[in-house]
Amino acid sequence: MRNILRRTVLAAAASLVVAAPAAFAQDSSGVADTGGPKLVLQIGGQTEGKVVIDLLTDKAPKSAERLMTLAKEGKYDDVVFHRVIDGFMAQTGDVQFGKKGGDTSMAGMGGSDLPDLPAEFSNISFQRGIVGMARSADPNSANSQFFIMFAPAPHLDGQYTVVGHVVSGMDVVDKIKKGDAARNGVVDDPDYIVKATVEDK
């Protein structure tokens, strides 16, 4: 049941989102660069480029550590952006079912072989460029999946862990192949993370 809910974790919220304004700053999350570790995603597929995420180790230490651990182990390499909703968010990180070249029909239902994480809610609002941890209906069920916001979605505030924010490459995020709105953003032949690395302090 929990894994099935992972796919639909943001479904209800998606209907409330309006299209993003045409112009945004490169990083408009409003969160200052902490100078801490960065998760660097090399994107491939229809879209190519680099996305740099400043991990908020002070606000979400367990979640930030999880992303760093999985990246350092190569678990995010070749993982697809399985759910991308225009004007809302791009979701990835299913290291169990989301590997490019395999059967990704169940992407969004899995996680890693590590335990689920406790919620680490903060007062940071879900603005454009914010990175959140995907979860099921249980607030303490985030594991490996995460999503990057295309536009503000304050109705998510206090409901999902904010783990970081994009400090470089939002232009790349904007180009990630969008999914079918009729299928809740599921993407056919999706873009993917070619390589995920960590730049420590």
Rounded Cα gap, residues 115 and 50, in angstroms: 29
| CA–CA gap between residue 141 and residue 42 (Å, rounded) | 27
Confidence band, pLDDT 50/70/90 cuts, at residue 201:
low
Domain ranges of the chain: 2-199
pLDDT in tens, 136-162: 999 999 999 999 999 999 999 999 999
CATH topology of domain 2-199: Cyclophilin (2.40.100)
Token pair 């919220």: residue: 13
When pLDDT is cut at 50, 70 and 90, the band that residue 176 belongs to is: very high
Q: How many residues does the structure list for the chain?
A: 201
The pTM is what? Answer: 0.88
Tell me how far CA of residue 58 lies from CA of 31, 34, 39, 123, in angstroms: 13, 9, 15, 12
pLDDT digits 0-9 by tens, 50-88? 999 999 999 999 999 999 999 999 999 999 999 999 999
